[in-house]
Copies of this chain bind each other. A is one copy, B any other.
Amino acid sequence: MTSPIIISLDAMGGDHGPTVVVPGVADYLRRHGGEGVRFQLHGDADRIEAELARHPTARAVCDVRHTDKVVAMDEKPAQAMRRGKGSSLWNAIETVKAGEAHAAVSAGNTGALMAISKLILRMSAPGLERPAIVASWPTLRGVTAVLDVGANVESDAEQLVEFAIMGEAFHQAVHGVERPTVGVLNVGSEDMKGHEEVREAARILREGGLGLAYHGFVEGDDIAKGTVDVVVTDGFTGNIALKTAEGVARFISTLMREALTSDLQAKLGAFIAMPALKRMGQRIDPSAINGGPLLGLNGIVVKSHGGADAKGFGNAIRIAVDLARSGYLDKVSRNLGRLAALEPLTSPSDAPMQDAHS
């Protein structure tokens, strides 16, 4: 490692501000070493310094950049764009644009972070209205990247292919899989299933010579099975699939808690099985997968969950560092260039005309 990787942090973002961001840096250093990584912390210098005093490992690799201004968690994106200049969130992104930092991490308001990131960094994928968000989804085989999970409400075939390109590079960089497999989410696995956008995206991925390991269509239950490394879908479907899954997971854990506290015998059994149940809990610990990069920007920005704890924020930092180190942006821009060169292939008149049940 020659020159250090600089990660810019919005120290005031999220529900807890510096009291999670600074311990998050310390947690990152403890778990991942963090050799050759330094941090810029944007926000209230007094509050940040007070936290740094309690975390000497973080203190050694952090520089503080003071600002009084903060984007509120409930501020509307349009308002944040107009009034957010000079805030901790804004400055964290601005240093990426200026080349002073390799990536930014914020647990701030998602809408504001997307709007300000887009305003400052601009989109690199020309078809995208706004950055795509990728979710790291725990599966039977490890982790699957699912995108978009909420930013782009409607996506045409070309955008779906852009998601495939970005998701592949993300998974490679962060999960260390050399040749991630890619699937397009659909209502069936046969070629003629689904609406025109997914069929056309599948055709480009299959025939476009983009060099991705394209698996084919996958269905909803393939996500948790881990059938492929990267699942591509429009932001509407992806957001609903993700929140539906969160709802189901919470439903089952509520039922389980109720069952295991329902009477004395159940409580005794639960007590005895507790070490095993705890190990299981670790496999679906949200902190271990926290950190959703905003993809499609000219720069690396990672969104941490607003309520994440230090371990979760530390994981979001790890994702930012992995993306910064991996040459992710170069790889994506190279592949987006190859996609643009395919233009003639994407004419909709080539699309198969059969409907879902023919």
Contact = CB atoms under 8 A, between A and B. Distances in A.
Contacts of A244: 220-221, 223-224, 241, 244-245
A140 B139 CA distance: 24
Contact of A240 (B241, B256, B284, B356): B241
A179 interface: no
A180 B51 CA distance: 51
A357 B187 contact: no
B240 A222 contact: no
Contacts of A262: 276, 279
Interface string A226-243: 000000010111011111
A25 to B, nearest CB: 30
Nearest to A276: B266
A268 interface: yes
Contacts of A114: 357
6 shortest A-B CB distances, which residue pairs?
A269-B273, A220-B243, A269-B272, A221-B247, A266-B276, A220-B244
Contact of A269 (B115, B263, B274): B274
Interface of A, helix, strand, loop or mixed by DSSP: helix
B240 A220 contact: yes
B139 A195 contact: no
Given A224-B250, A246-B220, A249-B252, A240 B185 contact: yes
A288 to B, nearest CB: 14
B153 A187 contact: yes
Contacts of A115: 357
A6 to B, nearest CB: 29
Interface of A: 77-78, 111, 114-115, 129-130, 138-140, 150, 153-154, 185-187, 194-195, 219-225, 233, 235-237, 239-252, 254-256, 258-260, 262-263, 265-266, 268-277, 279-280, 283-284, 355-358
Given A225-B251, A266-B276, 12 more contacts: A77-B357, A77-B358, A219-B243, A220-B241, A221-B244, A225-B247, A240-B240, A241-B244, A248-B249, A255-B284, A259-B277, A265-B275
A69 to B, nearest CB: 22
Q: Name, among A221, A223, A247, A263, the residue most crowded by chain B CB atoms within 10 Å (CB to CB).
A: A247
Given A237-B237, A245-B220, A252 B254 contact: no
Contacts of A284: 252, 255
A235 B195 CA distance: 11
B194 A221 contact: no
A187 B235 contact: yes
Contacts of A270: 269, 273
Nearest to A129: B355
Contacts of A186: 240
